[in-house]
Structure 1
């Protein structure tokens, strides 16, 4: 069972430009949890709503036992401030024992701030809170000096990796690294039991440096840092007892923040629509993909490189004649079928009339040198409009 979270009866609304919004209607802008109406959590970075990408490794938003969960990826930017925006409407099912909602916000695995929402807060208008900072307590430097309360805004900071870190540091930071790059909002049902004399957490030193080995295998690129402290008043806490029957949160919203160039974030970016043809400087990409080289005919074995080049040049010249603008089409085609005689049989040639096609065997070659037996495979003879005949040595048919 999770410990009772401290809460503010009232919260300081952060600047309008520090909002990080999250709703549940559009898949690309907000997450949806089936069966949990009237509860919205959104996140904005520098005043812009963060586009959400569903976590491919998590189950679809919905039930995970008793607790309903949603996991989304969002893009973060270095040094950008962000705000967690909470919203509860009268559509939420308030019926159970006149409870309140105990809302805890955790960033990088550490408690940042809490809020409390009552049913009466949603009767006439939605209850909303902008959580853009944490409140901490600074101890007095001198004996007898009172502690001071300060607020620190949330902002993203890139992680600085340290290669040569001792094993003790790697082990210590590996545990903390598991929760880096995650904003988690937990909703618990609770019963209020009056005021509580609870002080905010004490300020702790924070560093954006982590051992490289501690981050091994993780796509984490950023963590949350906090702005310089600004003096604020002491918060007012209310003591709450979470409902034991729930055995923990009724809903958890997780936001994994990554930089756009991060390897873990790139696969989540929108892909090109199915059927769309990619273009490269106006050219269809398919047109510039090189074809696999054709296998060299066995009849070329034994020829010198110069002879092979001469044959190739001649063949290309003939192909350009056949397909050039001067000869737009072939009027007639004839296949010359050469039958190879058996041992002791006189060789005979048979030529079919023009316009009649004959099938030939598979895997046969044409001897371009004329030094061997007549070819087994016919080659195309094209007659042009001018009455000339040309032979296409590279015909693929």
Structure 2
């Protein structure tokens, strides 16, 4: 879960299949100018995978003496999705925290008149070659916010709970972008929503406003979603090492050049072995003294033969 040291007690995460996504540090986060404490992470996106957004407030958060609510506004690809509020009274008496899960856009279906949840999912971006300058500029505006999930946490004052917001459109978008509009960014996905939403109860809406002493959010959590290949391209995760070339185990499938090289190598090995066998070997007896100053080894002195001499003879 993403956390901020400056605002302890608040955590946000993205889940796919009920599992927290692995988060990777954004190497450019320190270079970005922000008006409040901001966490910036990368996560991996997979084609057509549905995801949900979860945030948590626990007892480490310092509420202070003044009464207010914490509001989490969720934006996907720059568009507002949904907001939810938490009060100190909602913190559990057991573990001292409150968890809020958002599984999609809660909207009123005009055909049936019932409330439904349209689930978000990662949809692949199609890159096309189009040199029309007008289209490139329009697509570039889309690219600026594309592939981002943003959660803004604000301290707010409770308003009317009878508020009815405008029904936001979550129609599917075709992510076909001109290649030049990306300007080198490795964008692989955008977010679309399920065409058929699951039925839900009518949500309770509240109109709130930020407390007077704050100029905006107190914390922002940004998640940049990319495919695994895009994460490698941006050096967020290491590239896969190139596999070693396979060594063929069948001599027949070798090329003529490979066979010639192997034959030459084997010939050189045999030649060296023959030369070693034909070199003369000089054996010396144990204890022989060798004069290294001589050009040749000295001849071995003749052996003396012991004879018996009779000294009594005349």
TM-score by length of 1: 0.57
Instruction: Say which of 39, 54, 68 aligns to 1:85.
Output: 54
Out of 151, 164, 186, the residue aligned to residue 185 of structure 1 is: 151
Residues 42 and 223, structure 2, Cα contact 8 Å, conserved in 1: yes
Alpha-carbon contact 1:260-1:266 (below 8 Å) kept: no
**Matched residue count:** 261
Q: What's the counterpart of residue 45 of structure 1? A: 16
The equivalent position to 1:207 in structure 2, one of 169, 173, 195, is 173
From the CA coordinates, give the structure whose radius of gyration is larger.
2
Q: Which residue of 1 aligns with 2:217?
A: 249
**Counterpart check, 1:171 vs 2:142:** no
Instruction: State the 1:199 CA deviation.
Output: 2.5
Instruction: State the shift of 1:95 in Å.
Output: 0.6
Cα deviation, residue 135, structure 1: 1.5
Closer/same/farther in 2, CA of residues 204 and 53 from structure 1, 3 Å limit: closer
Check conservation: 1:165, 1:211, Cα contact below 8 A.
Answer: no
Does residue 198 in structure 1 map to residue 167 in structure 2? no
Are residues 1:72 and 2:41 paired?
Answer: yes
Aligned to 1:120: 89
Question: Which secondary structure state, in structure 1, belongs to the residue aligned with residue 230 of structure 2?
Answer: coil
Q: CA deviation at 1:136?
A: 2.4
Please tell me whether residue 217 in structure 1 is matched to residue 188 in structure 2: no
Aligned pair in 2 of structure 1 residues 269, 39: CA closer, same or farther (>3 Å)? same
State the SS of the aligned residue for 2:213: helix
Distance 1:98 1:58, change over 3 A: same
- 152, 155, 177: which is aligned to 2:121? 155
SS of 1:128's equivalent in the other structure is strand
Q: Secondary structure at the match of 1:193?
A: coil
Corresponding residue for 2:260? none
Instruction: Name the counterpart of 1:262.
Output: 230
Pairing partner for 2:67 from 83, 93, 98: 98
* Residue 247 of structure 1: how far off its partner (Å): 0.9
Structure 1 Cα separation of the partners of residues 235 and 270 of structure 2: 49
Q: Which runs of 5+ in 1 are unaligned?
A: 1-22, 24-30, 141-145, 273-277, 284-312, 328-352, 356-397
Contact 1:81 1:153 in 2 (8 A): yes
User: 2:26 aligned with 1:55, yes or no?
Assistant: yes
Separation (CA, whole Å) in 2 of partners of 1:166 and 1:266: 27
Cα RMSD, aligned residues only: 3.8
**1:181/1:226 CA distance change after superposition, 3 Å:** same
**2:14 touches 2:52 (CA, 8 Å); kept in 1?**
yes
Distance 2:91 2:124 in 1: 38
Q: How far is 1:241 from its partner?
A: 1.5
Distance 1:60 1:171, change over 3 A: closer
State how far apart, in whole Å, the 1-side matches of 2:243 and 2:137 are.
49
Instruction: After TM superposition, give the deviation of residue 133 of structure 1 in Å.
Output: 0.8
Q: TM-score, normalised by structure 2?
A: 0.71
Q: 1:174/1:91 Cα in 2 relative to 1: closer, same or farther (>3 Å)?
A: same
Structure 2: any 5+ residue segments left out of the alignment? 248-264, 280-290, 294-314
